[in-house]
Amino acid sequence: MEDRGGPDRAITSGTTHVLAIYALPSCPGWNRAAAIVEMVLDAAIAGLDVRLIDLSRVEGPPPLAVIASPTWILNGRRIALGNPDPDWLLAILSETPEGAFVNGNSGA
């Protein structure tokens, strides 16, 4: 199922990985984050749930990993503060489930 009709955009189909982007619409990086989210959605990566989350609409505190707007979180782990390079992000997200990064090990 795909829903692109609002600030909390998501694609969920056989989800195995979750990419959550927390941002404020008033943040200068919001429009760029939304554009990168569209690139990721257009790539239609199997098993990936992508969510652009409007921090001004979140009830309660955000996850502890969210310390800036935007913050990019993959499978509960912060991967970027601010907007990442789209080519880098798509390469990371396109790795197989056996890939080191998607399993929570950045190799660092």
Residue 28: inside a domain, yes or no?
yes
pLDDT for res 65: 93
- What residues make up the domain containing 22? 2-93
Note the pLDDT tens digit of each residue in 63-108: 999 999 999 999 999 999 999 999 999 999 987 454 434 444 443 3
Residue 69: inside a domain, yes or no?
yes
Nearest in space to 35 (alpha carbons), one of 86, 92, 89, 95 = 86
Note the pLDDT tens digit of each residue in 8-62: 444 444 568 899 999 999 999 999 999 999 999 999 888 899 999 999 999 999 9
CATH number where 14 lies: 3.40.30.10
- Domain total for the chain? 1
Q: Is the pTM of this model over 0.85?
A: no
Residue 65: inside a domain, yes or no?
yes
> Quick one: residue 2, left, alpha or beta (phi over 0 = left, psi -120 to 50 = alpha)?
beta
